Amino acid sequence: MSDTTIETIFSSEELQLLDQISADAEAYNRTSVYNVPGYQPVSHETRHVPVKVVGQLPKDLRGVYLRNGANARFKKTMSRAHAFNGTGMLHQVQIRDGEVTYSNFFVRTPRDAFEEKVGREIYPQFSDLANGATSQQSKLKLIESKKAQGAIPNLTPLELSTASTAVQMHKGKLYCLNETAFPFVLNTREVEGRLVMDGTGHLETWGGKLQSPFSAHPRIDPKNGAFYNISIHRQNGGVFYSRLEDGELKDHQLIHQQGPGGRMAYLHDYIVSENYVIFPDPSLRSDRSRIGQEESIYYFDVDYKMRWGVLPRYPKAGDTVRWFETHEPGFIWHMVNGWEQTGQDGHKQIVMFAPLFKDYPNGVPIHSPEESHSKFHKWVLDLDTGAVEAKQLLDGAFERPSINTNHSGFPCRYAYLLDESSGYMGKGVLKYDLQEEREVGYLSYGDALGGEPLFVPREGAFAEDDGYLVDLLMKENDAALVVFSATTLQELARIHLPARVPFGVHACWLNQERLAEMHRGE
């Protein structure tokens, strides 16, 4: 396909069809809830541009901040606008020896690399299934026919990663993740102490052992760094468990097979406690038979009561998921934390905290005013009786929580909850005491919007909240990485970036130890 162009892929009649689909999509997008400056993409890529710092950066805050997010590569689109449309773009801020630099680059997955080559969006976007399945039928059929003909790379659904949701590191490798496909491993190198990347890399299957998507939220064991994955295969409905240790896929197995028809729409996050893996089976369902019949394959089933699945952390042959039924419908994007405890009656329990959506629109309008407001909840699962207790703790719209992940899966006190009452992204952070079930303090983002209050422990810290909250705050025309005290919620430093950054959410922090591990290739 070295000489492949748009004209060699599609006939003139097919190009006219695609142009009409583009015109229809662009007309729709002019009045879309996503037609706001924060969702406008950027196209310029930079490499370690020096940036201005206002305030005093903590001396122990040395390393690299990375934030992923979907960013449309081309001005002409064939899809209705959505927060999930586009390819991944990483935004990188490196703090080193008093010098701070900014970089950004597209994540060049196989689908992105081909589309970059031909200069046009080709493959389906999320919104083709979530908001436009009827109108996009002809496009979907045409693309499938071109794959079958060999006119475009015949990428399977598991290979069609946009790698645009999250970024995490395991044993010296950086993984870009989006939970519907294989993980994408970035090529990295060290140049004069700087972490340098250009977005190239490869899809990882560990020699073909991985037969399912890999989660955008791998739960990480704070003691040994093992990665745990729970994901759903969109095509066959299987729920899969994986465990990654020392860079190798140690376990990968089907743990639950969903039947035809309505299935989990998303299994975005979960908990790994000392002895169990716990995940929600939500009321937001998907059904691919709705393609061509409904605008969205997704729908919120008010009659499907959310339930919790509990599986041994190291499942053996014959182990099955134990289901704990709740009493109301609900959907969960993100978990806070969960752990095992003994109740006052001596029963073994699992306690968990998460924002719960009690309803959700079929079009999945995440990060927009059309999205429902989540309510912060607590659940207690009684492992002896199978009973479930649920309690709403807050009435506000809080999402995308953060904790000190050194306590992930074990008792902790503090959660940092992003205030999404603005409709778009977060306007501040609520610090919440999980033990006493009370608000501790509130941090306002002022006239900017943030994506995720990432907790970074202070070097040598003893107290759970002794560290920093770091978030990339976005405005219409500029952006800044801002550092706050996680203890007092006071702003410490503001790193002004050289250009605006589109809305995005999930990030990670690589301290000096993790960078050294990466540079050693471990």
- The packing angle between helices 137-149 and 12-29, to 10°, is 140
Spatial separation of the C-alpha atoms in residues 380 and 392, rounded to whole Å = 12
pLDDT at 2: 61
Main-chain phi, psi angles of 437, to 5 degrees: 55, 60
Contact call for residues 397 and 419 (beta carbons, < 8 A): yes
Length of the chain: 522
104 beta partners:
46, 91
pLDDT at 133: 66
pLDDT at 272: 97
Spatial separation of the C-alpha atoms in residues 8 and 31, rounded to whole Å = 34
In this structure, the dihedral spanned by the alpha carbons of residues 325, 328, 334 and 336, taken in order and rounded to 10 degrees, is -70
pLDDT at 521: 66
Residues 75-93 as b or e (16 or more Cβ within 10 Å = b): eebbbbbbbbbbbbbbbbb
pLDDT at 70: 96
Spatial separation of the C-alpha atoms in residues 326 and 194, rounded to whole Å = 49
Instruction: Identify the residue whose tokens are 């996050």.
Output: 269
pLDDT at 317: 86
**Helix (H/G/I), strand (E/B), else coil: 13:** helix
Which tokens go with 360? 């959700």
Instruction: Identify the residue whose tokens are 């289901």.
Output: 323
Q: How many CA atoms lie within 13 A of 241 on its CB side?
A: 26
Note the pTM of the prediction, 2 decimals.
0.96
Mean pLDDT by 10 residues, the chain (522 residues): 82 92 92 96 96 95 97 91 96 93 98 94 92 78 93 96 96 95 97 94 97 96 94 94 96 94 93 97 93 88 97 94 96 98 95 97 96 97 97 95 97 97 94 97 97 96 96 95 98 96 96 88 62
